[in-house]
Amino acid sequence: MRRFLWASIFACVTMSLASANAQEPCLQANTACTEWVTLDDQGQRGLIYRSYPLTQRNEALEHAVIVIHGQGRNADGYFRHGLAGAFLADALKNTLLISPRFASNEGKGCRDKLDANEVGWVCSGPESWRNGGAQTTPSAKNLQSFDFMDALVLKLTNEATFPNLRTLVIAGHSAGGQFVNRYQMANRPHEKVTNERNIQISYVVANPSSYTYPDVLRPTQAAVPSNIAAAASGYVPSVSDAKDQHAFVPFADAGGCPNFNRWPYGLEHKVGYASQVSDDVLKQQLKKRPVTFLLGELDIFPTYRFDSSCAAMAQGPTRLARGFAYAKFLTDTLQAKHPAVLVPACGHNARCIFSAESGLPYLFVK
């Protein structure tokens, strides 16, 4: 009897310790902190790094942050960037951090090794993963990259698993910023989640090379605040400056740059996930869903796969200029209230952006 009693006590203590350990965040960008997310009934799946399991009930989690990698598809690195920011924001205990990998092995510089049934996405162009484009592998090609994000959002809003979740932030840097810009305006779960679970979803777009404009107007020099040096390094403004310019005008070289308003730079010829959404709905969702633009003060150099196509250059000479111009466009034409936040001393650097004091309140909501 005594032996049975001690065995029972030992079992209870072991279970208690296991439960306690399960509530500790996973803080290493290795396989111990990864998880597979099933995306359809065919068993197709995507890989994520996460600080807590998505399959285990956790009453301590009040917030979730999903960080989207750049064109390098280094989800492990972005998981570390997110962890650095969460540590500085004192948010590791009550925030679930996720970094999904949008893998591609279709060539053109994308040669990721895919696991069994792991979905591979289009690497570049209008149908790429960052624009909500279609998958390339495996054989059951019925998914688009925004479906992966939809699946994550719906998992996070499962009340049985995360009963106390109050906020969800979806953030991306560089190509990940392009992903978030287009996902914010196109996704289907947003209103369902906010209405049914009262989970507040917001978006953070950081330093992308391009944005999706909802009409044919494009910025002039006057679209950028005069107190921000957003032009390319070495640029010397003309004497006339921009005081008499309109901030947004019809694009002057539309004939020489016929794709300036085509998806993903504009709403013409949409492909992938967004093609299922009308232009009017995209505009309304772009206006009303909360988004913040984090823009590095020093992101004025054409480095790290800077988009120098005519369609991108129509949006401004640098990433910094493009970000402030786009935020002003949304304010002036859609009457949106989406802040553009200058992040001091940051260039095109996700770690700097995601751990900067000025950006933490938008990423790690209290």
Convert the pLDDT of each residue in 62-73 to its tens digit. Answer: 999 999 999 999
pLDDT confidence of residue 45: 97
Token digits of residue 116? 């069994």
- The end-to-end CA distance of the chain, in Å, is 51
Helix axes 175-186, 145-156, angle to 10 degrees: 70
Q: Is residue 277 predicted with pLDDT exceeding 70?
A: yes
Which residues face 98 on adjacent strands?
50, 66
C-beta separation of 167 from 62 below 8 A = yes
Token digits of residue 203? 């978006």
Residue given tokens 């203590």 in the structure block: 13
* Residue of higher predicted confidence among 1 and 179: 179
Quick one: DSSP state of residue 268?
Answer: B
Calpha distance 360→30 (Å, rounded) = 25
Convert the pLDDT of each residue in 315-342 to its tens digit. Answer: 999 999 999 999 999 999 999 999 999 9
All residues at 6 or more sequence positions from 3 whose CB lies less than 8 Å from its CB, including other chains:
none
- Number of CB atoms found within 10 A of residue 216's CB: 16
Domain regions of the chain by residue span: 24-363
B/e letters for 301-328, b = 16+ CB within 10 Å, e = fewer, are eeebeebeeebbbbbbbbbbbbbbbbbb
With a threshold of 0.75, does the pTM exceed it? yes
Token digits of residue 364? 């790690």
User: Confidence class of residue 139 from pLDDT cuts 50, 70 and 90?
Assistant: confident
Mean pLDDT of the region 169-187 = 98
Mean pLDDT of the chain: 92
**For the ranges 85-89, 132-136, 239-243, which has the lowest average pLDDT?**
239-243
Q: What percent of the chain has pLDDT over 90?
A: 86
pLDDT confidence of residue 170: 98
C-beta separation of 155 from 199 below 8 A = no
Q: Is residue 184 predicted with pLDDT exceeding 60?
A: yes
User: Confidence class of residue 233 from pLDDT cuts 50, 70 and 90?
Assistant: confident
Helix axes 189-196, 145-156, angle to 10 degrees: 0
All residues at 6 or more sequence positions from 232 whose CB lies less than 8 Å from its CB, including other chains:
300, 301, 302, 317, 318
Query: What are the φ/ψ torsions at residue 342 (nearest 5 degrees)?
Result: -75, 125
pLDDT confidence of residue 11: 46
Omega before residue 25 within 30° of 0, cis? no
Q: Which fold has domain 24-363?
A: Rossmann fold (3.40.50)
